[in-house]
A = this chain, B = another copy of it.
Amino acid sequence: MINKLISNIQKTNAPIVVGLDPMMKFIPEHITKRAFEEKGETLEGAAEAIWQYNKAIVDAVYDLIPAVKPQIAMYEQFGIPGLVAFKKTVDYCKEKDLVVIGDIKRGDIGSTSAAYAVGHLGKVTVGSKNYYGFDEDFVTVNPYLGTDGVKPFVDVCKEEKKGIFVLVKTSNPSSGEFQDRVTDNRPLYELVGEKVAEWGSEAMGDAYSYVGAVVGATYPEMGKVLRQIMPKTYILVPGYGAQGGKGKDLVHFFNEDGLGAIVNSSRGIIAAYQNDLYKERFTPENFADASRQAVLDMKEDIASALAAR
């Protein structure tokens, strides 16, 4: 799947992933209204609105981008109906030939991590049959529990030729509280980065590993160091746009080959029509066109930053 991700990136010439993190306040009223009319002001109604909103955005941008990253929390908050909308979104994006990165940040020990891995990337056995539960292409994984917690994911990745992105240095303001702690003369995130490279070395695609890393756009200098520590690791970079990361901050996350990183933007794309930049040109009715324009602009921003380095 890392090979497919890279080939999708090369085809679209866009190292971009669109974060499908729907919040009710992003969804235009005409969609919510119709969904509530159909299913009531219920969890099912909310899930229907989310699904219609996602579908319109995906339809508007799928030819421009290699991948999407639905954030499962935004669906899970609506209970079972929300998770049904998550699954529908995953399936629909795969039909559109997009690589789907499930942003699930799971992580546990041994058989429990194996259960998450099976449920999101692999197949589970029921009697004499096998079934895929959620069937994303990649998922994000939390490393706090150490190798025991990550290895079961790597095993499933090898079996299914899928991938993971392990949290190394997250984009949020307080990520340094634990991740930046100095141990043996270097910050913890570097140690996690080394482990990511080690776990990944036994699960290689053609040029990059099945085991990627998450490093926030908001910490470009740390990204530079981590790029060197993990040369064969694809880096998923959140924090662009709404969180403050800019195109020029991103160049350090890429390798010389122009590959090695994929930059996420969520609300900057999916709620573009609410943004001052696009508000005058787009109405809530053509929110998906605003999303398309935001993708084009992001692509341009990153391309010119990479060209200027």
Within 8 A of B (CB), among A21-68: 21, 23-24, 32, 36, 41-43, 45-46
A170 surroundings in chain B (CB, below 8 A): 109, 144-145
Q: Are A116 and B76 in contact (CB under 8 A)?
A: yes
User: A132-161 CB contact bits vs B (8 Å, 1 = yes)?
Assistant: 111000000011111111000000000000
A84 lies within 8 A of chain B by Cβ: yes
Centre residue among A45, A77, A78, A143 by max chain B CB count within 10 A: A77
- Complex CA distance for A110 and B116, rounded to whole angstroms: 23
Q: Are B77 and A80 in contact (CB under 8 A)?
A: no
Q: Are B146 and A177 in contact (CB under 8 A)?
A: yes
A71 surroundings in chain B (CB, below 8 A): 108, 112, 115
A305 lies within 8 A of chain B by Cβ: no
A171 lies within 8 A of chain B by Cβ: yes
A98 lies within 8 A of chain B by Cβ: no
User: A65-87 CB contact bits vs B (8 Å, 1 = yes)?
Assistant: 00000010110111110111001
- Complex CA distance for A233 and B212, rounded to whole angstroms: 36
Q: Are A145 and B119 in contact (CB under 8 A)?
A: no
Q: Are A148 and B173 in contact (CB under 8 A)?
A: yes
Q: Which one, A6-14, A180-188, A257-265, is touching chain B?
A: A180-188
Within 8 A of B (CB), among A105-138: 105-113, 115-116, 118-120, 124-129, 131-134
Q: Are B105 and A106 in contact (CB under 8 A)?
A: yes
A107 surroundings in chain B (CB, below 8 A): 105, 142
Q: Are B172 and A148 in contact (CB under 8 A)?
A: yes
A275 lies within 8 A of chain B by Cβ: no
Q: Are A109 and B172 in contact (CB under 8 A)?
A: yes
Given A71-B112, A115-B73: A143 in contact with B178 (beta carbons within 8 A): yes
Partner of A79, one of B87, B129, B175, B195: B87
CB distance from A229 to the nearest CB of B (A): 15
Q: Are A143 and B144 in contact (CB under 8 A)?
A: yes
A231 surroundings in chain B (CB, below 8 A): none
Partner of A192, one of B32, B74, B115, B178: B178
CB distance from A48 to the nearest CB of B (A): 11
Q: Are A124 and B46 in contact (CB under 8 A)?
A: yes
A41 surroundings in chain B (CB, below 8 A): 126-129
A293 lies within 8 A of chain B by Cβ: no
Q: Are B84 and A80 in contact (CB under 8 A)?
A: yes
Q: What are the 4 tightest A-B residue pairs by CB atom distance, in nearest-first order?
A: A79-B133, A146-B177, A146-B174, A77-B119
